Every structure is written in structure tokens, then in C-alpha cells.
Amino acid sequence: MVALNTVSDPLVLALREFAPLAPHMETHLDAAITQAVSEPGKLVRARLALEAGLANGLDDGEAMQLACAIEYFHTASLLLDDMPCMDDAATRRGLPCVHRRHGDATAILAALALINRAYTLAGFAFAAQSPGVRVQAIACLDACLGPSGLVGGQAADLRYGETRGGARAVAKIAAAKTGALFWSAVFLPALASQPTEAERRELKRLCVYWGLAFQALDDLADVLKSHAEAGKSTGRDSALSRPNLALVLGVHGARAGVDRLAALAGAAADRLATHGARWSYLRRFHVEYFAPMHRRTLAATEMLVAA
Amino acid sequence: MVALNTVSDPLVLALREFAPLAPHMETHLDAAITQAVSEPGKLVRARLALEAGLANGLDDGEAMQLACAIEYFHTASLLLDDMPCMDDAATRRGLPCVHRRHGDATAILAALALINRAYTLAGFAFAAQSPGVRVQAIACLDACLGPSGLVGGQAADLRYGETRGGARAVAKIAAAKTGALFWSAVFLPALASQPTEAERRELKRLCVYWGLAFQALDDLADVLKSHAEAGKSTGRDSALSRPNLALVLGVHGARAGVDRLAALAGAAADRLATHGARWSYLRRFHVEYFAPMHRRTLAATEMLVAA
């Protein structure tokens, strides 16, 4: 796989090229969207969607459109999550948050512009598919982003302090909030090759494991990393009564949980590889992206636990 | 045409039926979405989209899905417009605004859920169309809702106080902010019958006239009506330095402007009717919906001017 986040990375270039900018648009909105698409994070979901699209028969352009759609949905969710009425974050990816620079209204409108463009790109990516595939793709996005997915998970996340709950409740929120975008990154492109029921079940398992593991790593980072190291406002989950696996399980428990989830995800990816070559990218992704991230975060938390 | 806003109105029922609700969803989000879809306004855009869909060959179900999609986009824009960082309204449709009842974060998430469901419904409504029509429909929604349409218009609206500008600048914002949803209500369904270039130009003119006229009527209401009479927070455009045609042209100028726009819209609808029977619904809509609303608002403002 090619290196990420370099100026020549086709995905990074495409994220700028497809950005919802227009001539003579209001300058704060322009600046907000430009910042949001020019400072990409790890692009995990987008890279996954790109690989998935190519593996499942989309052409290069369609796979790239779909990857950018998934990344725009993710970026929009971050713009909104950072707002004062949600996580009230000050920085993101080493820069002041969009709402701190351009105001809350501009952050909302930038998120809406990204979401609108994301639906457009997803629609274009599937334009050549059969009616049956397209209807499934529309239903998949509806489920991933709606009240049973990202939006519902975020709503439960924000009200967690009113109900509390143990690891099970926290995991359920993480599955909706973080798992849903992994699910859309993997399952939406997979629809183009019409997976069997058994394959769909394995894909779902894998995405749930990855989603929970990513959220647990993020939760560990929130608890343990300092503001400067994380590049975004941290230590906030406790202050804001947000669900956090490292808070409900303890740091050692959360670390053990991530190890277990990583093993389960690896096993699911292995099983999928036996179903056909088009699923081998999942195993590769797990080894080349997930495992190093897992190791890095655990190492970082280990140092901090020891300190 | 059937009466609006009654319990037996199929459109009112469909707006509830298609609402983005899910079992066990977070209760504030559930209540916010339920309020937003249960207290419909005049449903002008949705009714227009419904008529347009049927006139252009969509079946009953598809036309209804499209009508609800347009109404959900509109409703989401109202939920967000009312927020403290935008117009900071207290009431809407005679009830406390969603963000006042359930908080800003819930209002944002409710808007996102409605927008997600709106794209789903629009996708389903066009699922049976040819690839060419579908790609045009996707591009139409992208343009109507993005930085050149609704989102861009709202951004310019909020920053109007920084630049000011005369009637021309205000009209440009109104065309993007209000005209775009009329354009999507009329043009999106029209794509199903592939209008000629000449017909597209006339449709565009008509939607610009309607959009500007509706915005001017709304601006007059803002300036003249009391809080109680309008059922929403009014008199705010001046306080918030928002673009308002009745403020830049004066009440008499704005009233004359609405008369002129209504005449232009009527003439455009008449011309379209000569192009074919499928456009006759536009003339009917103008006479049965637009003209009475125009008369009522002007009469209301007249009484208040005289008072």
C-alpha cells in the first residue's frame, strides 16, 4: 500500500478536488471547508473504502468517489462533534477547530456541505450498478448514518451521563458511532459484488470488532494522552460524562479488550480470505493498518502508565 | 387539490411514516424528530414536489417519497436556522423550537437524521429511472443544497451584516437560500420526463420568481408581524443584521416587488402550460397556492401598516 498523507497521495488530492467549494462562496465557509479537507487524519476509513471498492469491482474513479464520500461523512461528524454543544473541543489535527476559527454556524454549514457532497459522490460511484444493488446501497447508507447508526450513536453518547451504564452500554454506543462508518466503508463497496449471506455476517463481525477496537484505542488516548500529544482536546470524556471503555473497564481492562478485539478481527479477516480473493484486502488492511496502530497506541499508553 | 394539514392528508401521514425513527433510540432525539415531522408548516414545497412528480411520470409512491424528501430537507434547514448560532429563534409553528426543548446538539442530530432520510427517499424515488436521469438528479440535489444553493445562501445570510449590500445582494441570497428548494421541488421531478432546454429555462425562471416572492413575503412578515401572529420569532432580521428585502426596499417597495414577482411567475407558468399538459400543474399551483398566500400576507401587512 502507498504511503498516506503525502502531497502526492491520490486520496489526499481527491479529497481536495471533490471538496464542496464554489466560486464566490462566502469566505468563512470556504475557509472552513478548505481546512477540513486539507488536514486529513489517518484516512483509515477512506483507505479501507478505496481498497474495498477496487476489490469488489468498482473502477478506479468510482472507488475514489466512494472513498471520498466516506471520508467526508467522517469529517463532517468530527466538525460537529467538536462543537461547544457536543464535545467542546479546542483543537483537531493540531489546528484550532473549525468552529473556533469561523464560528459555530459556519462549522455546521461546512459539515452540511461535506455531507451533501458525500451523498453526491456515493450516488455517482454506484450510478452504473444494477437497480437491486443501488437500492441496497441506499438502504445501507440510511442505516449507517441514521438513528440506528452514526446519528443515533452520537445522540446516545451525548446523553450517556444521564443514564450511565457499564461496558455493554458503552460498547453499544461505540458500535453505532464508530462501527457504522467502518460498516459503510466495507459493506457499501462490497454490495457491488453481492456477497453471500455468510460473507455478509463475517463482514459485519469484522466491522464491529474494528469499530469497537478503534473506539477503545481512542478512549485510551483520551484518558492517557496529554493535549499536545493527541493533537486534539483530550481527557474530556470524564469531564463531559461521555461513554469511554477505558473509564468503565479501567486502562488495563480496556487494553485487554483491544487485544481481544484485534484477535477476533484478525480471525474474521482470515475466515473471509477463505471465501475468495476479493476479501484478501481485509486481511492486508488488518495487518498493515490496524495492527501497527494498535501496537503504537498500546505502546504509548504503556509508557504513560509506567510514567 | 386536497386540503393540507389535516389528519387524513396523505402527505402529512407520509411525513410521519417515513420519519427517521428507530426502536430504542435516544429519547430526546426521538422527541425532536417527532416534533419536527408532526407539526408541518404549509408544506408548499412538498405539495409542489408531489404534484411535479405525478405530472412527470413518477408513480404515487415515488412522488410521495420525493415530496417527503424535499420537506425533510426544508425542515432540517429550519431546525438549524433557529439555533442560537444562527437566528436564535424561540418558537416555530407555535411551539418552542426543538433546540429550546431538547438542546442544540439534539437539534443538530435531528436535522442530520432528517437529511439522511431525505437522501434515502430521493434515491428510492429515482431508483427506477435511467442512469442518465439519475445522474442528473444527483447533480441537481448537489447544486440545490451545496455551496451554490441552500448551504451557501445560508452562509451568506449569516454574514450579511459584515458586507451589507442592496436589494441585488439580498435577492441573490434569497435565490440561493429559498429559490434552491423550490428548484429542487420542481426540477428534480421534472427530470423524469426530460424537459427540453427551453422548458428548463422557463422552469428556472419560475422557481427564481417564486423563491424571491416567498422570501419577500417572509421578510415582510418578519418586519411587520408580531411574535404571536407569526407563530415564530420575528422582527429578528433587523436585530441580527440579516438580509431582508422589506428592510432594504422599505415595506412599500417590498410589497410592490412581490406583486411584480407574482406577475412574472404567473406569466412563466402560463408560458410553460403552452409547452405541454404536464406543466399545467405549475399554473394551478400558482393560482391555488401562491396567489392566496400572496393576498393573505399583503392584506395582513396592509392592516398593520394602517394600524
Output the DSSP codes for chain B. -PPSSSTT-HHHHHHHHT----TT--HHHHHHHHHHHHS----HHHHHHHHHHHHTT--HHHHHHHHHHHHHHHHHHHHHHTSTTTT--SEETTEE-HHHHH-HHHHHHHHHHHHHHHHHHHHHHTTTS-HHHHHHHHHHHHHHHSTTTHHHHHHHHHTHHHH---HHHHHHHHIIIIIHHHHHHHHHHHGGG---HHHHHHHHHHHHHHHHHHHHHHHHHHHHS-HHHHTS--SHHHHTT---HHHHHHHHHHHHHHHHHHHHHHHHHHHHHHH-GGGHHHHHHIIIIIHHHHHHHHHHHHHHHH-
Cα–Cα distance, A116 to A180 (Å, whole number): 18
Q: Is the pLDDT of residue B1 over 50?
A: no
Query: By the CB < 8 Å criterion, does A139 face chain B?
Result: yes
pLDDT band (50, 70, 90) for residue A293: confident
Helices (H), A39-166: 44-55, 60-81, 98-102, 104-125, 131-145, 150-158, 160-163
Q: What is the DSSP letter of A279?
A: G
Query: By the CB < 8 Å criterion, does A34 face chain B?
Result: no
pLDDT band (50, 70, 90) for residue B231: low
Q: Is the pLDDT of residue B250 over 90?
A: no
Query: By the CB < 8 Å criterion, does A96 face chain B?
Result: no
- Domain borders along chain B are 10-128, 131-307
Cβ contact, residue pair A147, B80, below 8 Å: no
ipTM: 0.94
Sort out which chain A residues have CB atoms less than 8 A from B131's CB and list them.
127-128
CATH number of B10-128: 1.10.600.10
Sort out which chain B residues have CB atoms less than 8 A from A85's CB and list them.
103-105, 108
Nearest to B47 by CA among B290, B278, B295, B294: B290
Residue pLDDT, tens place only, A224-263: 764 445 555 667 788 888 899 988 998 889 999 999 999 9
CATH number of B131-307: 1.10.600.10
Cβ contact, residue pair A119, B141, below 8 Å: yes
How many A-B residue pairs are in contact by the CB < 8 A criterion? 154
Residue A93 in 3-state DSSP?
Answer: coil
The domain A167-307 is placed in CATH, from the list 3.40.50.2300, 1.10.600.10, 3.30.70.890, 3.40.50.620, at: 1.10.600.10
Residue pLDDT, tens place only, A63-94: 999 999 999 999 999 999 999 999 999 999 88
Q: What is the DSSP letter of A2?
A: P
In this chain, the answer to whether the domains covering A10-128 and A167-307 adopt an identical fold is yes
Query: By the CB < 8 Å criterion, does A239 face chain B?
Result: no
**Alpha-carbon gap: A302 to the closest alpha carbon of chain B (Å):** 35
A92 φ/ψ angles, rounded to the nearest 5 degrees: -150, 130
